[in-house]
Chain A
């Protein structure tokens, strides 16, 4: 499956592992709860590690693991949960996260520009058909009023 990363279409190499599933090899993301529970034990994992943040998660618990994380997914259960926009801003600005920050789940191409401005650099929407519109959406505006993360 393709995703957008840094304004390019690329193949996705990551899979999300739900809390009740065995951790396979390769690049995986897990829940915040599992990250906190298994903590440093996960560094033995054969592949790269990421976390999936959902709106109800407390992101302060993730901060200590940031150096070990190669991907942070921001998962939209529905498009209107704006907390994820603040999480992105906080991860980039306050916590100095510089790795891949990926929006996943149920969001629209019309939100891509906003997401990119709070530091999201990869997009993996549930609706794969929206990828071309998502690429265009990143350029919906050529001007802005507020300072940007990037």
Chain B
């Protein structure tokens, strides 16, 4: 993974120093609350319901064991002993004290981490595929380009005060696991007819109140133009994006109101004027690629015979293997998911002791690497088959081996009303209720791949509009209600879910979900996934069942 050089380290150190001075100026009254808001947001600091929330960048999700131990230390020392992993591969602390945040940033800088541009109307953390570098359907590893984009976006002098937040995602595989069609800019690594690798560029996607699927504005971009093209898009957005209404300020609205053809024409015209002034050289690309070379895999990993024996003898291990591991491009290896969705734990949360233990396991089995997934789990990407069994045993002890990856209990969930000042409704409690009624693992595995996303408000941090089942908390005269959507997807077949009907009361939401699952189990055709069935039959059969008694 990428290692800071002197420049990277200096920038992060100086940023932490700057934030310390800014905090002091705020506390002494020199900065108004509104002035400080702009500055603290650009360092990931929100003022929340109970306490500030600090969001730390997980650059394209990739962390090392030293960094995970530092998160454990921060959780112990400055927070209440846990942290939360987000859908954009970041890390959140919900209980830091404002006066201590500069100290936390110093701690982070000491392990090459920061909270720069994790919130505010600026370019955010670039995200990617959590299986980058190991998946079997990869065209090229996207992470070197993510790192190049990370550096280019960090403290960009022209684009730090955009109309609204701005998110870039990169995918290097056939299967889009990074929700690139739902980002302000989506970058796909593709091959053209001549066999050259380059980028397909999408713009104008986004979630939140007005979910929109991004559109291709350039089918093929030579690698050397990556940054100049991004710059052109950002300049057009910075100049013409709406600033009169924050709900209409994202680039998706600009693309929609301008029309994608005209928007593309503007970007291309701007780019023609600058394309040769900001060339990404092969030399630079190769320099960054050196940080993402494969670890020293065991060439004989597939020769091991213990794995097959454990698989045959231990059904719990076999189930976990089937559900929580993924194919790997190197024979005899698997990518292993650590489920942060144990039934009685808020989705995406980890305790300090789990963090420390995971760091040790990463050192022992995974070359010290940990990747955060878009669905709020972790991945060990380089596990040889002989070590799957001992790793599974260790993860089981840590309650990180719930075999539910991509199943109905692998719920994406925002912090909701329990923590967030924006939320209209609770989400963690509802996730727990759904878990309580879905306690039969065989039933869960029979249902198969089904993604539930639940947000506590319209801002949609948990991407409910692209959940196969989406749940959105709404406030009705001070009471929490939930709207259900079906048929959303954030992958290659990206779609915005369709609303099932009137919102349901909090005490009926778990029942509504089980009703929906019952309809699926009874009416599915052989091997048909939930999403495929919704596409085939529409929402009516589900609607009839959920609202049968209303």
Contacts and interface: CB of A to CB of B under 8 A. Distances in A.
B158 A141 contact: no
A143 B38 CA distance: 22
Interface stretch (A3-11, A41-49, A64-72, A110-118): A110-118
Given A94-B273, A118-B158, A83 B14 contact: no
Interface in A59-113: 79-83, 85-86, 89, 94, 108, 110-111, 113
Interface string A112-150: 011101100000000000000100000011111111100
Interface string B256-289: 0000000000000000010001100000000000
Interface in B155-177: 155-163
Contacts of A142: 10, 14
Main secondary structure, interface of A, reads loop
Nearest to A114: B157
B11 A80 contact: no
Interface in B3-39: 7, 10-11, 14-15, 18, 22, 25, 31, 35, 38-39
A145 B151 contact: yes
B71 to A, nearest CB: 25
Contacts of B22: 110
B241 to A, nearest CB: 9
Most chain B beta-carbon neighbours within 10 Å: one of A80, A83, A113? A80
B112 interface: no
Contacts of B407: none
A110 B163 CA distance: 19
B157 A146 contact: yes
A86 B151 contact: no
B243 interface: yes
B39 A145 contact: no
Contacts of B15: 141
B239 interface: yes
A145 B148 CA distance: 10
B152 interface: yes
Nearest to A113: B157
Given A80-B161, A81-B161, A86-B158, A110 B10 contact: no
B195 to A, nearest CB: 32
A32 B121 CA distance: 28
Contacts of A111: 160-161
Given A81-B243, A140-B18, A145 B11 contact: yes
A80 B18 contact: no
Given A55-B243, A147-B278, 5 more contacts: A82-B238, A85-B158, A143-B11, A143-B14, A145-B155
Interface of A: 55, 79-83, 85-86, 89, 94, 108, 110-111, 113-115, 117-118, 133, 140-148
17 contacts: A79-B38, A80-B38, A80-B121, A81-B243, A82-B162, A82-B163, A86-B158, A86-B239, A108-B38, A114-B155, A118-B157, A144-B11, A144-B157, A145-B7, A145-B152, A146-B157, A147-B277
The 3 closest A-B pairs by CB, nearest first: A82-B161, A117-B157, A114-B157
